[in-house]
Amino acid sequence: MATRIRPSSKRCAVIGGSGFLGRHLVEKLLDRGYSVAVFDIRQSYEVPGVTFHQGDLCDQQALLPALKDVSLVFHCASPAPASDDRALFERVNIQGTQTVIKACIEARVQKLVLTSSASVVFEGTDIKNGREDLPYAKKPIDYYTQTKIVQEKLVLEACDKQKGFLTVAIRPHGIFGPRDPQLVPILVDTARRGKMKFIIGDGSNLVDFTFVENVVHGHILAAEHLRTDSPICGKPYHITNDEPIRFWDFMSEVLVGLGYAAPRYHLPYALVYGLALLLWLLSLILRPLVSFKPTFTPMRVALAGTHHYYSCERAKEDMGYKPVVSLKEGIERTVKSYPHLRHGA
Ligand SMILES: NC(=O)C1=CN([C@@H]2O[C@H](COP(=O)(O)OP(=O)(O)OC[C@H]3O[C@@H](n4cnc5c(N)ncnc54)[C@H](OP(=O)(O)O)[C@@H]3O)[C@@H](O)[C@H]2O)C=CC1
Ligand SMILES: CC(C)=CCC[C@@H](C)[C@H]1CC[C@H]2C3=C(CC[C@]12C)[C@@]1(C)CCC(=O)C[C@@H]1CC3
């Protein structure tokens, strides 16, 4: 009879390991002596110590080789929120996550750490110091968020101490840092098109922006604390920089750091939100004839004009979380990492 090799606790897989967060996670895992298998729909880099498995996470047979002899899996793959493609979100975030769970169980993986999102409780209205016991959004702001809610529930409900399959969900918010493909590039593109002159609302709304290395730190702490006797089993955890900042101050610091002017003129929130909604509806109606993607979608306007910051006390108490990089240093390192996006470059 063939003997099964006992999975090593230092052997893990990162689903979505070619993406922004995934790659930072892989780099830190390697530093900490893990050997890593990456599973992703694309391969974006090559590093010693990492084996790449290219495939769609909705395909269980494609996933299994990446999970062989692995005891710990991080699932941080998702279609980009900006794709606004309902069918794709449902296929990847819901059916795909069910497939990931089944594949983990079949491969006898012991721990699954999901990258969820703090937005699972956000409905477009103020959240101040939100804790994890807030109810899931009844009216999520977009299809992405709607499917992240179902995904998180699936993973947390799959936690089964008797069967030795432990799960936890990390809820980051507004991740930024070197190689981020959305926040800074979209911001700079909007500024280059002359559309970053306006502040939506009075500009006093506080938001969490979380440096990517803190998000990575939260994931690794969760993985290392995930044991049968731990309070973290089957629970969600906010991971933030613990330094809420005015949304428009953060945008201004990044813009000014890259040589662009900070937004100055105020516009009423209700007016901009109404216009964004109108444009979004128009883009849906006209989709068969012309395709255009408005920059200021209702989702972005809601994120830009409301308070949404979260308490990470639970992560501090249950897993000793503390941000490892301050917001100031995170912004400086991020700005430096984008020489090609500087004004005039
Ligand atoms: N960025 C943020 O501010 C926040 C992100 N999150 C969550 O963090 C996670 C990581 O996000 P981020 O790093 O920003 O995203 P990225 O898009 O950079 O990374 C996601 C990776 O998953 C891949 N992927 C997408 N679909 C599949 C599939 N069907 N099979 C296998 N791989 C797939 C992507 O490939 P491709 O690029 O080709 O699609 C990409 O390489 C996501 O779960 C996201 O929901 C949560 C809160 C905030
Ligand atoms: C108003 C404007 C054009 C701002 C440019 C920056 C935005 C692109 C980002 C500001 C807040 C960001 C954010 C996300 C994506 C990028 C922003 C809208 C998420 C939706 C990414 C996925 C999540 O899970 C939640 C994030 C909230 C914050």
Rounded mean pLDDT, 122-134: 97
CB 177 within 8 A of CB 213: yes
Give the pLDDT score at 293.
80
Rounded to an integer, what distance in angstroms lies between the CA atom of residue 211 and that of residue 328? 10
Q: What residues have CB less than 8 Å from 332, skipping those under 6 apart?
A: 257
Any ligand 2 atom below 6 A from CB of 183:
yes
Q: CA distances (Å), 345 to each of 233, 256, 306, in order?
A: 48, 14, 33
Give the pLDDT score at 77.
98
Give the pLDDT score at 8.
62
- Confidence band (pLDDT; 50, 70, 90) for 288? confident
Q: Which pair of tokens denotes residue 334? A: 């991020």
SS3 state at 172: strand
Active site residue 310: no
Q: Which ligand is nearest to the CA of 53?
A: 1
Any ligand 1 atom below 6 A from CB of 77:
yes
Rounded to an integer, what distance in angstroms lies between the CA atom of residue 74 and that of residue 113? 5
Counting from 1 in the atom list of ligand 1, the atom nearest the Cα of 79 is 25
Any ligand 1 atom below 6 A from CB of 27:
no
- Pick the catalytic residue from 34, 143, 144, 321: 144
The pLDDT tens digits for 167-183 are: 999 999 999 999 999 99
Amino acid at 217: H
The percentage of the chain sitting over the pLDDT mark of 90, rounded to a whole number, equals 89
Q: Which pair of tokens denotes residue 135? A: 């109810």
Q: Is the pLDDT of residue 7 over 80?
A: no
Beta-bridge partner residues of 111:
72, 166
Q: Is the pLDDT of residue 228 over 70?
A: yes
- The residue behind tokens 């993986």 is 109
Q: Which pair of tokens denotes residue 69? A: 């002899």
Q: Is the pLDDT of residue 6 over 70?
A: no
If one residue of 59, 78, 99, 334 were mutated to test the ligand 1 pocket, choosing by the most ligand atoms within 8 A of its CB, it would be 78
String of DSSP letters for 243-260: --EEHHHHHHHHHHHTTP
More confident residue, 9 or 265: 265
Name the strand (E) or helix (H) holding 333: helix 327-336
Residues in the chain: 345
Which residue's alpha carbon is at the smallest distance from atom 6 of ligand 1? 117
Rounded to an integer, what distance in angstroms lies between the CA atom of residue 1 and that of residue 275? 67
- Confidence band (pLDDT; 50, 70, 90) for 145? very high
Any ligand 2 atom below 6 A from CB of 81:
yes
Rounded to an integer, what distance in angstroms lies between the CA atom of residue 299 and that of residue 277? 9
The pLDDT tens digits for 41-52 are: 999 999 998 999
Q: What residues have CB less than 8 Å from 61, skipping those under 6 apart?
A: none
DSSP structure class, residue 326: -
Any ligand 2 atom below 6 A from CB of 308:
no
SS3 state at 223: helix
Give the pLDDT score at 286.
86
Rounded mean pLDDT, 41-65: 96
Which residue's alpha carbon is at the smallest distance from atom 19 of ligand 1? 19
If one residue of 40, 60, 74 were mutated to test the ligand 1 pocket, choosing by the most ligand atoms within 8 A of its CB, it would be 40
User: pTM of the predicted model, to two decimals?
Assistant: 0.96
Q: Is the pLDDT of residue 3 over 60?
A: no
Distance from residue 207's CA to the centre of ligand 2 (Å): 11
Q: What residues have CB less than 8 Å from 208, skipping those under 6 apart?
A: 118, 173, 174, 240, 241, 244, 245, 308, 309, 310
Give the pLDDT score at 2.
43
- Confidence band (pLDDT; 50, 70, 90) for 283? confident
Name the strand (E) or helix (H) holding 26: helix 20-31
Strands 236-239 and 210-211: unpaired
SS3 state at 89: helix
Q: Is the pLDDT of residue 1 over 90?
A: no
User: In 10 A of CB 126, how many CB atoms?
Assistant: 14
Any ligand 1 atom below 6 A from CB of 110:
no
Distance from residue 176's CA to the centre of ligand 2 (Å): 10
Any ligand 1 atom below 6 A from CB of 149:
no
Q: Which pair of tokens denotes residue 186? A: 């979209």
CB 262 within 8 A of CB 247: no
Rounded mean pLDDT, 7-26: 92
Q: What residues have CB less than 8 Å from 293, skipping those under 6 apart?
A: 82, 283
Fold (topology level) of 11-177+210-240+310-324: Rossmann fold (3.40.50)
Any ligand 1 atom below 6 A from CB of 21:
yes
- What mean pLDDT value characterizes the chain? 95
Distance from residue 200's CA to the centre of ligand 2 (Å): 14
